[in-house]
Amino acid sequence: MNIFLYNTMKRGLEEFIPIEDRSAGMYACGPTVYNYAHVGNLRTYVFEDVLRRVLEYAGYQVNHVMNVTDVGHLTDDEDDGEDKMLKASRETGRSVWDIAQHYTDVFFADIEKLNIRKPHVICRATEHIQDMIALVERLEDSGYTYSAGGNIYFSIDAFPEYGRLAKLNLEELQEGARIEVDENKRNPKDFVLWFTKSKFENQVMIWDSPWGKGYPGWHLECSAMSMKYLGEQFDIHCGGTDHINVHHTNEIAQSEAATGKQWVKYWCHGEFLLDDTGKMSKSRGEFLTLELLMNQGYDPLDYRYFCLNGHYRSQLRFSFEALDQARKSREKLGGFIRELLKQSAQSPETAELGEEALGYQERFESHAGNDLNMPRCLAEAWKLVKNQQVSPEEKLMVLYRMDRILGLKLQEISGEEENDLDEDSARLIKEREAARSAKQFSRADEIRDILESRGIEIKDTPSGTVWRKRV
């Protein structure tokens, strides 16, 4: 199976040819953990999961590395605004370390619910400070840095290829100098590698370094950790499109200046999820989380289906109507699978695929390999379901194969009737209702979790608790 990916560096589709035969090193910029991930962030992780699944489907041994930005102030390029981790700590009365741990745990629970394959390496910024310091020293030794006002800066004038990814025009950048506020910078696009002079007060997360006590600049972690786990040259780096102009541009400058080699072969960027107000933002207060969708009765896989319905390089507008539509489609697909299971005379694993069925599989693979075209992949799955010429066994077999990329847990759907609830779960629902009446909310939540782990969703309505099995 051939895979073509849009490489932002080349502004076009390129065939994926790995650096090392049959393997693929893939780095994804991970979450900042001072707050919950919003559904926009999660769209990007769904796209990266599809990318990984397509590579794995095609037989590549993927090494998927993701960082966790648990240093609170590393959320902006400049040392201004506020330390988001400290703010969260002040508001909740918990330590910054607790805050980071809490949101990290929730993030990985969220991505599991979305059936996103867990990265092989998950690396925290706070556990790699020495690697970052070593990288700054390397840059310092090669003359790419300068010290000003107590901070260590990367000098983009020492790196003439600066801005290649973003296609930045360096002359225009000079113009920007007039509005630049950090007077320590020699060039407005220079960026901090190590801060010792912070505008933040009561900094908790600081470390010793050759330049004094301080903390790393926010781009540094991705360069240091990706090279540690994937080597100085690797195949794919991904993230959202917002990272092209600054974060990834600066990551490239640091990494390539340090090694003198091309760092990443393919740059893949996912487009934004928009809400009614435009761009989703965590700093604007209320924002949509996966939990919020679940509390409204949606299955996380409804959201996954919603994401698959749009191409990752197109902006996607969130609406509950569109999510309802995705839920309906997913449930309908589940219903078809249940029917097919009932109609199958033999187990789908042993089915022989005829030409017609193979055609669907091949078209699906070609859409998946054509820059991860999931809308067309879904369309192919639907066409297969509705085709009267293909046997139920063949349909199931091909759908299960497709699901290795779609990740909709189609194989977990059983042919049994939906309406039966086992005795123990029925008892638990009754017990939970009693606990709620007695205001024993922690027991009620505990029971909800148990039922959830059995694939049973419950919803409290004015006329009592209703349940449904997740498909």
Q: Determine, following the binding rule CB under 6 A, whether residue 40 of this chain makes contact with ligand AMP.
A: yes
Residue written as token pair 């699978």: 337
Inter-residue contact 327 to 305 (CB < 8 Å): yes
Residue written as token pair 């091309």: 262
CB 321 to ligand AMP: min, Å:
19
Q: Determine, following the binding rule CB under 5 A, whether residue 116 of this chain makes contact with Zn ion.
A: no
**How far are the Cα atoms of 140, 147, 186, 254 from residue 152, in angstroms, in the given order?**
9, 4, 12, 13
Q: Under rule CB under 6 A, which residues in 263-322 are in contact with ligand AMP? A: 270, 272-273, 279-280
14: Cβ–Cβ under 8 A, 6 or more apart, which residues? 4, 5, 6, 7, 266
Residue 216 vs 348, nearer CB to Zn ion: 216
What is the H or E stretch that residue 25 is in? strand 23-28
Q: Determine, following the binding rule CB under 6 A, whether residue 240 of this chain makes contact with ligand AMP.
A: yes
CB 41 to ligand AMP: min, Å:
4
**Helices marked H in 78-212:** 84-92, 96-113, 129-141, 170-175
CB 350 to ligand AMP: min, Å:
42
What is the H or E stretch that residue 121 is in? strand 121-124
Residue 117 vs 363, nearer CB to ligand AMP: 117
Q: Under rule CB under 6 A, which residues in 12-31 are in contact with ligand AMP? A: 29, 31
Residue 114's nearest CA partner among 343, 401, 408, 347 is: 408
Residue 151's nearest CA partner among 85, 216, 68, 54 is: 216
Q: Under rule CB under 6 A, which residues in 152-181 are in contact with ligand AMP? A: none
For residue 308 the two structure tokens come to 């698959």
Binding mask 29-68 for Zn ion (x = CB under 5 A): x---------------------------------------
For residue 87 the two structure tokens come to 């703010």
114: Cβ–Cβ under 8 A, 6 or more apart, which residues? 42, 45, 46, 49, 290, 300, 301, 303, 304
Residue 37 vs 58, nearer CB to ligand AMP: 37
Amino acid letter, residue 100: A
Q: Determine, following the binding rule CB under 6 A, whether residue 226 of this chain makes contact with ligand AMP.
A: no
Binding mask 210-249 for Zn ion (x = CB under 5 A): ------------x---------------------------
Q: Determine, following the binding rule CB under 6 A, whether residue 43 of this chain makes contact with ligand AMP.
A: yes
Residue 222 interacts with, from ligand AMP, Zn ion, none (CB under 5-8 Å by kind): Zn ion
| Near ligand AMP by CB under 6 A: residue from 137, 140, 242, 446 | 242
| Near ligand AMP by CB under 6 A: residue from 124, 189, 219, 243 | 243
Residue 429 interacts with, from Zn ion, ligand AMP, none (CB under 5-8 Å by kind): none
Task: Name the segment binding ligand AMP (CB under 6 A); options: 210-218, 236-244, 306-314, 320-328.
Answer: 236-244
CB atoms within 10 A of CB 68: 23
CB 107 to ligand AMP: min, Å:
9
Q: Determine, following the binding rule CB under 6 A, whether residue 391 of this chain makes contact with ligand AMP.
A: no
Residue 318's nearest CA partner among 41, 111, 49, 52 is: 41
Query: Which residues contact Zn ion by CB under 5 A?
Result: 29, 222
Query: Which residues contact ligand AMP by CB under 6 A?
Result: 29, 31-32, 40-41, 43-44, 239-240, 242-243, 270, 272-273, 279-280
